[in-house]
Amino acid sequence: MAIEDDVLVIGGGLAGTTAALAAAQRDVQVRLVSAKQSTLRHASGLIDVLGYTPDGDGPLVDPFAALEELPDGHPYERVGGEAVREALAFFDGVAGEAYAGSHTDANALVPTHGGTVKPTARYPVATAAGLASDDRDTVLVGFETLPDFEAPLAASHLEAAGAPFAARGVTVRFPGIVRDDAKITRYAHLLDRDEAVATATGESTAREALAETVRGHLEDETRVGFPAILGDDHADEVRADLADRLGVDVFEVPMGPPSLPGMRLEDMLYDALEDAGVRVTTGVPVVDYESAVDGTDADGSERIDRVVVDRNGADVPHRADQYVLATGGLVGKGVESERQRVFEPIFDCHVPHPTDRYDWFVDDVFGEHPYAQFGLPVDRELRPLDADDEPEFSNLRAAGAVLGGYDFAAEKSGSGVSLATGYVAGQRAGTEAGR
């Protein structure tokens, strides 16, 4: 017997979770299945919309002004600017006070761990005091056992980039940690629990010992940036406690993977899924599908009847009225390639690409590589299109990095596209299933 739902979302990242939450608003039964743990924990936790145009202009002050100029086929062009705004408002409702940026259309400039500045539309409140538009002088603090964040180098990069403040970087020993392979969650838990640690002058608590270590490096600065390890379950409390002890504002600098801000975002979204009644099944890849017995809908489009999930070697059918594909792009293996072709592995949806694989890339390492835009073309309903620009299936929509027509890394638009297309795909799937 097939497991039955109204809407089935395939993929557990930002696009998939947003689609499931949006569909659940339509008072239908929603299930989310994913092959592995969410990729959100590898993300920065920042929600960008558009930092640079496809031509490389930027960083953009107003991303919405640039949306109107995007080429046909870009995911934002498919859903429209108003849908992007609605998706951000939807995210704001889920995030509550955990994220900032909803007060303006302008991008915020958020310093990252390499000393670069990322234009972003929504950002964790933990990063708010560190915005590059703030002209207060700054100290960045790195730790000897955390080589992923070189504070002096990041500070010099910020100044070289023209940040309107003086930045210094210092490297100190993190109290209670001596191994350079400690997981970032170890740092967070030490501060969450304010555990006892040994110091040169005796025993202290982790927060007081860290504040005492940093205090001696402060000069006239009024804000201090730490790598994003300042607690997990009690991050706001940890940050406020350190700020009170130091007498300055404290902020986090987003890190590369694994990422505590990404983990916090994941926890927030999956808590929202539970509250919305969405059924979540992880560790179960979708490996195949079956078409409806009658083959097609009235408009001639093929209709998916069920998908097949591999659960510990057993094929388990899952049937739904509507489906959303949010499995990621080339990195996430939602789009795959062989020597002769690029393809979508579950439904074998059409992925436009040159027939000669040497045309998939250019000689310049930093050039505009065609493969960066490989993905599914979709109509304005976000239904994947075949080679003749007809919908592959009448009841399948796609969202997030599986879509083609844009280079999320160059544009700094990855999470924004996932959010906007996930929201639209989920809403429309929920509406259709509820008819």
Residues 155, 141: Cα–Cα separation, whole Å: 10
pLDDT of residue 294: 63
Cα torsion through 204, 205, 206, 209, rounded to 10? -40
pLDDT of residue 199: 81
Residue 164 backbone dihedrals phi, psi, to 5 degrees: -80, 35
pLDDT of residue 373: 86
Q: Closest Cα to residue 287, out of 318, 242, 241, 249?
A: 318
Amino acid 193 reads R
pLDDT of residue 27: 94
pLDDT of residue 367: 78
Instruction: Check residue 434 and give left, alpha or beta (phi > 0: left; psi -120 to 50: alpha).
Output: alpha
SS3 181: coil
Residues 98, 92: Cα–Cα separation, whole Å: 9
Pairing of strands 3-10, 314-325: parallel
Q: Closest Cα to residue 406, out of 374, 435, 430, 380?
A: 374
**In the chain, domain spans:** 3-98+263-433, 113-253
Residues 91, 94: Cα–Cα separation, whole Å: 5
pLDDT of residue 384: 98
Mean pLDDT, 10 residues at a time, over the chain (435 residues)? 90 97 97 88 93 93 94 97 97 97 95 92 97 95 93 94 93 90 90 90 90 94 96 95 97 92 95 97 93 67 92 92 95 88 95 86 80 92 96 97 95 97 98 92
* Cβ-based neighbour number of residue 4 at 10 Å: 14
Question: What is the chain's length?
Answer: 435
Query: 83 is written with which tokens?
Result: 């849908």
pLDDT of residue 398: 98
Tell me how far the alpha carbon of residue 353 is from its chain's centroid.
26
Q: Is the Cβ–Cβ distance between 307 and 288 less than 8 Å?
A: yes
CATH architecture, domain defined by 113-253: 3-Layer(aba) Sandwich (3.40)
Domains 3-98+263-433 and 113-253 agree in fold: no
pLDDT of residue 366: 74
pLDDT of residue 428: 98
**DSSP secondary structure string for all residues of 219-276:** SS-SEEEEES-S-STTHHHHHHHHHHHHTSEEEEE--SSS-HHHHHHHHHHHHHHHHT
3-98+263-433 is a CATH 3.40.50.300 domain: no
Q: Is the Cβ–Cβ distance between 381 and 397 less than 8 Å?
A: yes
Radius of gyration of the chain (CA): 23
Q: 25: Cβ–Cβ under 8 A, 6 or more apart, which residues?
A: 276, 427, 430
